Structure formats: structure tokens, C-alpha cells
Chain A
Amino acid sequence: MNVNADVVGSRFAPNLRDSTSTARKSRDKIFLLVLWFATLCAVLTLFFLILTTLLKGAGRLNLSLVTNFPSPFPEDAGIQSAIFGSLWVVITSGFASLFIGLGSAIYLEEFANSTSRITRLITLNIQTLAGVPSIVFGILGLAFVARGWLGWGFSVGTASAVLTMMVLPVVVVSSREALKAVPPSLREGSYALGATKWQTIRKQVIPAAVPGIATGSILGVSRALGESAPLILLGALAYVSSNPSGFGSDYTVLPLIIMKFTQDAQDEFRAVGAAAIIVLLVLLVSLNLLAIVIRDRSRKSW
């Protein structure tokens, strides 16, 4: 046995000598217990998070919550302007990031030489963007979009532009993956029939990659829907009592109205915030379900 252990020379070899020892077994048990505990903590976090929200917000969860505007009276306070604000901002930034993200992905995957310096530069850039804290995008928006260069003020347009930039890395990366997964034989077949490069991309590659692209953009949209930090700097943390009517309108969004309510000194308002969280979570879960359905529906094997 001794000899064996030396030959093995591995980290746990000394233990092989007393493989029946109770100490070893109890160490195994303790380790398993620690793993269970960690896993349980993760599961309990979600459980208590939902429970806390429901306990606090269920009482205010009724139709007037979504039809009313913010009000000085907690029993009348609603979140309609935030829901419409979120829809405006998320839908516009969703389309913008899809346009820019898919365009970049097509260029990088289909046109650019993958070893060229420009491709590497763009790829590195997108990696960098993905790691930038979201509040820094708020600073960017403050400096160039809201004030200074573009001067759009604290408006729907500003928020939409900033969220577009923030979500872009997600859309680019997932679109590239989706395009990469389309087999070359499909492209070659199209070329063989005389189609040009753009005809091939438009008629063959993109339709084949749609599920992957859609899943990626839905993930991007749900990030934009839940994002709060950059919009704090862009004037969204306010009680706004009208729905946006265009890109120049004042606005607030669901995460920010939740923050505003949560910070309120009166407990009744905080209950409205909790009810708004339920609305936000329902929206997010349905978006994610949609992504899962699209992914499963269109799973193709080449």
C-alpha cells in the first residue's frame, strides 16, 4: 500500500492508506453538507426575494396600479407612465441594438477577414464594452447625449440611445454565434446556384440564424428592461405623471419608479414599489419564456 501511494504521488494518495477511516468519510460528509448549504442559499435567495416582494406588494396589486399615474396619495399611486416609458425605451433600443448589432455581426462574420487587425480591434472593443459597469454608460450619456454634443436632454431618446450602447455587446456576441452556427455548405450551395454574397446572406444565412439572433436580442431586451444604474444619471428617477409621446418626452421606467418608491419614507409607497416589482418580474419572465420557446421551436440540426 505504501509503495502504491508513493507511485501514485497524487494529492490524495496518503489517504488511500486509511481508506476506511472514519475521518475521511466524515470529511466527505462535511464537504457535501457545505455544497448543499451553498446550493440551498442560492435557491433560498430567490425564494425569499419573491416571498418578501409578494408579502409587501400583493395588497397593492390591482388594476389601478397599472392604470393610475404617480400620485401624492399612496392608495392612488400607479405606474402607468413607467410602464409606457419602459415600453418606449426598450422597444426603440431593442430595434436599434438589433440593427447595429446584427450589422456588425454580419460584417465581422461574413465580410471581414477574421485575422485582420480591424476585426481584432472591433472584437476587443466589444469585449471591453461588455465589461464596462453600466453606470459608466450613464456618464457617457450624460456627457454626449443628454448634454454637450447631442444635447437631447433627459428624454426618451437619450435613455434609448444609452441602453442601445449598453445592450449592444450582448446582441453582437449572440448574433455572431448564430451566424457561425450556419453551416458553410448552405452558403456554398447558394453560391453554386449563382447567388451573390449579399443574396446568400439575406436569403439563406440570416433566415437560418434567426432563432439564435432572436434569442440573443430578447436577452438583450430583458437586460435593458431591468437596467437602472445609467438611467439614474439621465433623469429617470422621478415621478412622471404623463406617458411619453415621443423621443423628446420626459420619462421614467419601471426599474426607476421601483427605486423611487423603495426609497420613499412612507411604507405605503414602498408597498406600491413592491407591487411594481411583481409587474416587472412578470414581464421579464414572459420575455425569457418567449426566448426559450423560440429556441426550442426552431432547434435545427444540420
Chain B
Amino acid sequence: MNSTLPEKHILQPSGLKLRQQRTEVVIKVLLAVIAASCVLITTGVVVALVRPTIDFFGEVGITEFLFTTDWFPLYEPPDFGVWPLVVGTFTVMLIAVIIAVPGGLFVAFFLSEYASPRTKRYLKPFLEILAGVPTVVFGFFALNFIAPNVARKIWVFSDVGFYSALAAGITVGLMILPMMTTLAEDAMAAVPRSLIDGAYALGATKRETCTGVIFPAGLSGIIAAGVIAMSRAIGETTIVLLAAGSTANFTFNAGEPMQTMSSFIGFAGLGDQPTDSTGYRTIFAVGSMLFIITFGLNMLSQRIVTRFREVYE
């Protein structure tokens, strides 16, 4: 088939060629439209959030939103003080990051400098499987294992109930750990081998090479990875919804149930709010906050990579 085409091309530039040219143009336009539809999705996200959020702040004063500390938007009478959600989000994120960032960094050190190729071959698929476990399974794990066997044992400040920000935070941290490991490993792989070999040649031990050479040289990538981990932890919904309960407590005790911005959205979505209510619009207002924060963090992470990267050779 193909081999007959060129001949026709050259000898008789007639109907067939015209049809082909038309096909080429049509296909190019079609593909361009498809590619442009990706932009439409992001625009859609922004548009979907902006209108109801503006309506929301027309009904609820921004002072109540920012300067009161009771969050019961779906009750009668409703309270719209966002601080419990902010504190809950921050608490869960902090616990998750405390686990995932150093944890991921250590595993990455182990993989890049200590592990033999054999160990690596077994360990990598393990981490890949862990990274592919659905969040709802982690939520189940949080309730059935982390809460009773870990959270309750390590929290010395108070009793830890069935639902707690602590159990949610630990589990979110464990969920993010494989991603953090991969990103940290990539950052470390970007450090030139000559620098590392130089350290060894000067008599540095593996530890000294890790902490004194690889870590500072890969720092921009590692910090960027940490910021991505923060953004992931803030956006996580299902684990928190399952493990941290659904009361928006205004507390700094991680042993208590808490609600985060994302878990509130999931919780409010369950109640099937009537479309034209303030309660329904609350979902969008909180969604806007969540979108702005995670978007900001992702941008920050990209900035860190491009701005502060140490360039060698």
C-alpha cells in the first residue's frame, strides 16, 4: 500500500493528493482542539470555584470567616469560622511531613549509597507497590492498625480515641513516603558522581558523604520534594475523612478528632446539600482555599528547583 503512494505523488498530483492534504489539515486541527481541551479543564476548575466562592462571601462576612473559631456550616444556626479547619489541616500535614520527609530522605540515602544492587532490586518494587496502594486502603489501615497499635501507644499527652488527627497524619505520612523517596533519590542522582567519589577519596565515610556532600549538593531538589509532600498531605481526603473523624474541633491536641479542609469537602459532599444553599457554597469556598494553597506550594516547589539548583560542570 505504502509503496505505491509515492509514485502517484510524484507522477499525478491530482485527486488523491488533494484529499491527502485535506486530511492532514483536518487532523492537525482536530489534534489541536483536543490539546486545547486540556486547558479547558484547568479553566473549568477555576471557574467552578470562583463563582460560588464570591457568592459565599456575599452571604458570610469575611470577618466571621477569618476571625471566629467555630466551624459548623451545615448546622442551624451555622458558624463559619474557618480556623478549626486550618489548624486541623496544618496538624495533619505537619505530622505527615515529619514522617515522610526525613523517612523518604533516609530511604533515599540508603538506596543511593548503601544498598547493594541486589537489595535495591528487591526494595524498589516494594516501594512501588506501596506507592500504588489506594488511599481508601490506607484509610482502612489507619483505623484498624495505626490508630490502635501506633497512635494510641506513642501519644503521651492525652488519650487517643477511635478517630484522631494523629492516626490520620501518621498514615498520610506513610502514604507519601514512597513518593518522597523517589523525588529525593532523583535529587541525589543529579549530584555529580565525581563530587561523591572525591569525598570518598578524601577518606570520608558513607555517612559523611551523605550528610556533607550529597545532602547539601542536592538540597534544592530535596526541599522541592518536601514542598510537594506538603501539598500532597494537605490535599489528601479519604484517609483523613476515615481516620480523623468529622468534627471540626478547634484544638492543638493531635490525639483528638479533627477536620481538614479536604476532609470537610468530602464530608459536606456526603450530605447532599441543596444546590442553592450557603452550605453547598461552603464546599466551593473551602475548595478555593485548598486549590490556592496547593497550587501555591506546587509553584513554589518548581521555583525552588529552577532558582536554587546547584549547577555542576
Contacts and interface: CB of A to CB of B under 8 A. Distances in A.
B235 A45 contact: no
Given A19-B203, A42-B126, A140 B114 contact: no
B134 A226 contact: yes
Interface SS of chain B: helix
Interface stretch (B20-28, B59-67, B74-82): B20-28
A126 B42 CA distance: 8
A132 B45 contact: yes
B308 interface: no
Interface string A264-278: 000000100110010
B295 A111 contact: no
A240 interface: no
B35 interface: yes
A139 B265 contact: yes
B139 A259 contact: yes
B109 A35 contact: yes
Interface in B206-223: 206-208, 210-213, 216
B277 to A, nearest CB: 12
A38 B110 contact: yes
A14 B116 CA distance: 29
Interface in A229-269: 229, 232-235, 237, 255-256, 258-259, 262-263
B294 A132 contact: yes
Interface string A209-238: 000000000000010011111001111010
Contacts of B107: 35, 38-39, 42
Contact of B208 (A15, A222, A270, A274): A15
A195 to B, nearest CB: 7
B101 to A, nearest CB: 11
Contacts of B266: 135, 138, 229, 232-233
Interface of A (DSSP majority class)? helix
A233 B2 contact: no
Nearest to A119: B35
Interface stretch (A23-31, A68-76, A178-186): A23-31
Nearest to A238: B270
Given A133-B290, A227-B134, A262-B143, A39 B265 contact: no
A191 B7 CA distance: 13
Given A126-B38, A259-B238, A135 B265 contact: yes
B161 interface: no
Given A129-B42, A140-B48, A258-B136, A31 B20 contact: no
B49 interface: yes
Interface string B283-295: 1100100110011
Contact of A36 (B31, B110, B181): B110
B298 A128 contact: yes
A159 interface: no
Contact of A133 (B27, B145, B207, B262): B262
Contact of A232 (B36, B48, B231, B237): B237
Given A49-B133, A196-B24, A228-B136, A143 B284 contact: yes
B147 to A, nearest CB: 11
A134 B48 CA distance: 15
A197 B38 contact: no
B6 interface: yes
Contact of B238 (A122, A129, A222, A232): A232
Interface of B: 2-3, 5-7, 9-10, 20, 23-24, 27-28, 30-32, 34-39, 41-42, 44-45, 48-49, 52, 102-103, 106-107, 109-110, 114, 123, 126-130, 132-141, 143-145, 174, 177-178, 181, 199, 202-208, 210-213, 216, 228, 231, 234-238, 241-242, 262, 265-266, 269-270, 272, 275, 283-284, 287, 290-291, 294-295, 298, 302
17 contacts: A11-B212, A16-B203, A39-B110, A42-B103, A53-B137, A56-B144, A106-B31, A107-B35, A133-B235, A135-B266, A136-B287, A138-B265, A142-B48, A172-B38, A203-B2, A229-B266, A259-B238
Given A103-B34, A135-B262, A273-B140, 16 more contacts: A27-B207, A28-B207, A32-B207, A35-B114, A38-B103, A38-B110, A41-B177, A46-B133, A104-B37, A133-B291, A135-B287, A203-B2, A229-B237, A284-B132, A284-B134, A288-B129
A-B pairs, top 9 by smallest CB distance, nearest first, are A133-B235, A194-B6, A226-B134, A38-B106, A103-B34, A233-B269, A143-B48, A107-B31, A131-B298
Interface of A: 8, 10-13, 15-16, 19, 24, 27-28, 31-32, 34-39, 41-43, 45-46, 48-49, 52-53, 56, 99-100, 103-104, 106-108, 111-112, 121-122, 125-129, 131-140, 142-144, 147, 165, 168, 172, 193-199, 203, 222, 225-229, 232-235, 237, 255-256, 258-259, 262-263, 270, 273-274, 277, 280-281, 284-285, 288
